[in-house]
Amino acid sequence: MTIPVFVLSGFLGSGKTTLLLRMLEESKKLGLRPGILMNELGKADVDGLILEGHSSASIEKLLDGCVCCSKKSELTGSLQALLVRKPDILFIELTGVANPEEIADVLTEPGLLGRVALKQVITVLDAENFMDYNSLFASDKQLVRTLRRQVEVADLILVNKTDYVHRIRLHQIEKAIRKLNGHAMLVYTTHCRVELKPILEGVQPVQKGPLTVRPIRMTKITTHPKEPSTAGTGRGMHPADSPEPAETAPSHSRVRTVTLPWNQAAGLTKADVDAFLQRWKDGLIRAKGYVTFAESSHMHLLQYAGKRSYWEPSFYQGEPYLVFIGIDLDTDRLSEEWQRLQDTPQPQSLEPESGRRRK
Ligand SMILES: Nc1nc2c(ncn2[C@@H]2O[C@H](COP(=O)(O)OP(=O)(O)OP(=O)(O)O)[C@@H](O)[C@H]2O)c(=O)[nH]1
């Protein structure tokens, strides 16, 4: 039996994980046993941890590099590990800077040929930022090419985050998309709400039996061949492991990723984090992570995308941390500034989690 593969692509923060969660819910309704391959640029695995709260699917994670640039054998190995667990359907969520056609290529490797078949490439676009990203990256030919390839090779394009834009902007986006891809189905969405039944149509459970929770394997992968590689040790990392503090991951083109430690004793509030994000907003595309505040032990998930931050409660139980992803980010200076902020004694705040700036 050939297992159908859905590749979820799209730029950083566009809504790929949001879509994946929806697809997992729909798969569950259809009695399907999903396998998921997730790829993150940073060493910390925020999206995977979000998924753990929602799904009993088998998950493989490739951290700290872009899978489309890694050795193909590593991706093949991860997919083979998933296939051992006999999924009915496979989802591959790419990093925001990955080129989906490279994945299609991997699916035809000898170890996978005949066992998996690419069903659809779904590309999620951030309606608010799509046009700006194009011009923002205009000087970076590689990123523009990647963004465009994500559109060109898509079978289905979700123009997501339409709640942030006017109808006129949607016309401009559609025109830009159609120049690149005249064939893909195009759907306008908020929070990736799209009718998924027709998309998953024809996917059948391979074998009956209860869904089982499988242990999660994490694999470090090598990074872009053009970049000096500091990864590729193959060392496994448990989700509860602390991310190494203020560590800079090797970058993909101009994209830089930095993981920052969180010291609850420093007494920082949401407002402090939001202010820090604002200070770094030029070039910052994405930030995410888990933090706790002094007044309660509850974990909070930060999602910063499209220059906006969102805070959600979270069940994550590991060490708190933040990940920043940006274009040409001066990660050393950012880390130093962050350290200084954490080392500066914070005045007492009456409403530390209200999001208000302290005087
Ligand atoms: N307002 C609004 N927010 C959205 C929408 N879709 C997703 N979000 C939020 O945008 C943030 C980023 O969404 P994700 O699904 O994590 O994006 P992603 O593409 O997986 O991000 P990366 O993995 O970093 O590339 C989250 O806080 C989502 O809840 C939408 O249509 N409207």
The full DSSP string for 186-232 is: EEE-STT----HHHHTT---SS-S-----PPEEEE----TTSPP---
The span from the CA of 81 to the CA of 36, in Å, is: 11
Does ligand 1 have an atom closer than 6 angstroms to the CB of 193? no
Q: For 242-343, CATH number?
A: 3.30.1220.10
pLDDT (0 to 100) of residue 234: 29
Give me 181's structure tokens. Answer: 């891809």
Does ligand 1 have an atom closer than 6 angstroms to the CB of 191? yes
Q: Comparing C-alpha atoms, which of 101, 62, 94 is closest to residue 78? A: 62
pLDDT (0 to 100) of residue 38: 83
Q: Separation of 14 CA from ligand 1 center, angstroms? A: 5
pLDDT (0 to 100) of residue 259: 83
pLDDT (0 to 100) of residue 49: 61
The span from the CA of 52 to the CA of 118, in Å, is: 25
pLDDT (0 to 100) of residue 351: 43
Q: What does pTM read for this prediction?
A: 0.73
Instruction: For the chain, give the number of residues.
Output: 359
Does ligand 1 have an atom closer than 6 angstroms to the CB of 10? yes
Q: Separation of 186 CA from ligand 1 center, angstroms? A: 18
pLDDT (0 to 100) of residue 238: 29
> How is the chain split into domains, by residue range?
3-200, 242-343
The span from the CA of 88 to the CA of 41, in Å, is: 27
Does ligand 1 have an atom closer than 6 angstroms to the CB of 123? no
> Which of ligand 1's atoms lies nearest the C-alpha of 12?
25
Q: Comparing C-alpha atoms, which of 11, 27, 73, 57 is closest to residue 219? A: 73
Contacting residues for 131 by C-beta, under 8 A, at least 6 apart: 169, 172, 173, 176
Give me 154's structure tokens. Answer: 């898509």
pLDDT (0 to 100) of residue 252: 44
pLDDT (0 to 100) of residue 142: 75
The span from the CA of 88 to the CA of 3, in Å, is: 6
Q: Separation of 138 CA from ligand 1 center, angstroms? A: 23
Question: Contact, 99 vs 149, CB < 8 A?
Answer: yes
Contacting residues for 143 by C-beta, under 8 A, at least 6 apart: 97, 137, 253, 254, 255, 327
Q: Comparing C-alpha atoms, which of 23, 38, 21 is closest to residue 75? A: 38
Question: Contact, 217 vs 197, CB < 8 A?
Answer: no
Half-sphere exposure for 65 (CA within 13 Å, toward CB): 27
CATH architecture of 3-200: 3-Layer(aba) Sandwich (3.40)
pLDDT in tens, the chain (359 residues): 789 999 999 988 899 999 999 999 999 889 898 999 887 665 555 566 666 655 567 777 766 666 666 545 678 888 888 999 889 999 999 887 777 877 776 777 767 877 888 889 999 999 998 887 766 555 566 778 888 889 988 899 999 999 999 999 999 999 999 999 998 999 999 999 999 999 998 887 876 544 443 333 444 443 333 333 323 322 222 223 334 434 433 334 456 778 899 988 888 999 999 999 999 988 788 888 889 987 777 899 999 987 889 999 988 888 888 888 777 789 899 999 999 999 887 665 444 444 433 33
> Burial code of 179-200, b = ≥16 C-beta within 10 A, e = fewer?
ebbeebebbbbeebebebeebb
Q: Separation of 210 CA from ligand 1 center, angstroms? A: 31
Does ligand 1 have an atom closer than 6 angstroms to the CB of 161? yes
